[in-house]
A and B are shown apart, each in its own frame.
Chain A
Amino acid sequence: MVPIEHYFILALIMFTCGTLGVLFRRNLLFMLMSIELMLNAVNLVFVTASSFLGDLDGQIMVFFVITLAACEAGIGLAMVIAIYRRYGTINPDFLKVLRG
């Protein structure tokens, strides 16, 4: 049996990749995909913990997260398209409307 740490390390790697992707990719689409990756890393932790503890709550949570991820992707993609239409770019470096 694969020890629990391996799952966690894998989840950690996925989450780090996702975080770095969100932080440093210069493309909103890739950033969305990175967020997806982070969510999946969390899902992995949930499933692992659920299976090891024999508690189904974690798996239920995964379904929630998946649903949420779907919603997020839907809204996010829609916004990306809207942003592209409005500004002609999806590079976040050029989108600084919130400057104080």
Chain B
Amino acid sequence: MFQLIHQYILSLLIFSPLVFCGLSLALKDLKAIRVLAVLGSFVTFLFSCHLWYYFDESLTGIQFVQHYQWISSFGISYFVGVDGINLLLVMLTTFLTPLVLISLFEKKEESTKNLIRLLLSLECGMLGALLALDLVFFYVFWEAMLIPMYFMIGLWGGKNRIYATTKFIIYTVFGSLFMLVAALLLYLQHYEQFGVYSSSLLDLYRVNFQNINTELLLFSAFALAFAIKVPIWPFHTWLPHAHTEAPTVGSVILAGVLLKMGTYGFVRFAIPLFPNAVELAAPFILGLGVFGIIYGALVAWVQPDAKKMIAYSSVSHLGYVVIGCLSFQNSSLNEEALLGAQYLMINHGISTGALFFLIGVIYERRHTRLFSEFGGLAKNMPWFAVMLIVATLGSVGLPGTGGFVGEFLVLLGSFQAKPIIAIVAALGVLLGALYMLTFCKSILFGPITKEENRSLKDLSFVEFLYITPLSLLVVFMGVCPEFFLKKMRTSVHHLSKTYHHYELLVPDQPFVSAVNKIEKRG
């Protein structure tokens, strides 16, 4: 039994949410569905813990590989695997989903049933996209993620939801289609060079482009798709709308995981597939990233709506991730910066997730998110204040929270590579504190100006249940970053040094080594 689980762990991970989603269709009662869904997502989380525990951080290659032919005449296969780059994002996904589902426990509406089902299928989509090592397979999941999100915003959203969701879907698909075309061209290029059809990433990494222009073209297509997803300035305008209109759970998942797909795409696909093109285009993208940091921070500062503010702050934060991913230095990627970027991705998922949850908490009570409607909440909601301040500090990047480790490494690395980038980006550290503290102050501090705010209740048990883990993690990530960094280090080092001829090794018999490891331990 254990061996079976171990062997098929990734498939179990990807499809167990879908299975539970299917099971939930058989149930009629909202309460039963909720319990089932939380159970399902928790099982998925346990699977990912298994992955975490047995992941061998000393190997550079991919682990837990499952590789089956899908459409063999075209060389398309079901190919999944884990390395240090996607492991943490997988953990983040499986960690956030149960919390998101728990947060729906206080909803009474019948329509919540479908929201729960959508969330489970969304988790399947995200995990599939993260774990895929076959370009076609990846693309299928990449697009499949959009569908639940589309309905989530379109059906459970706010006033302007149709506009927001349409914009979200069209914008993202617009980018993805370019990527699809480029993927096809890449696939044909591989056929020309090697004479076999294959859409496996491991094969595609070997493609050499004779013509730098072709490479640049293909890279731009991939980069556009990812840049829209991140979003890098100036492709960000869908994000504030999508966030403002999305229900809390949607925002959490959107900011927590979906945005990371863009930066993950850069690391997994764009950089190793088109190394020369990336080097050429890097200054340009870095410029956009840095501009986005400052721009996002300034615009976030003057937002009257909490969710919009966090949306713009995401633009700012992901700017750091982008510059961390693309800090080239002497024909290698700066390792500290890349590691920092990976870390920042996780941390942003955690702290922004917490912020969206907390905004959701007060939205539930007051049905507004305008700053002018709040103020002085710390008096009646002390625990809420504690949680909000912790999340804020994580977002500001105070030492001792995860945000600091990530931002510090990114800035340190990019300072070694391109000082000017780091110098401008560091202004974002100041502006970040400016808008986050303004945010904190206008919600928590000052006199209570609205009568309704006098009788607000502090966090309920359920709210505690889903916010506390995030707050604890914000601090834990700052104090013990080593716990996470050690899992990523080898893979990141490998990528940063060898992205020019990147190879992901598949261990011959992964299972045997894992069994040996288990025997050694036990």
- Please say whether the chains A and B touch (CB closer than 8 A): no
B residues with CB within 8 A of A: none
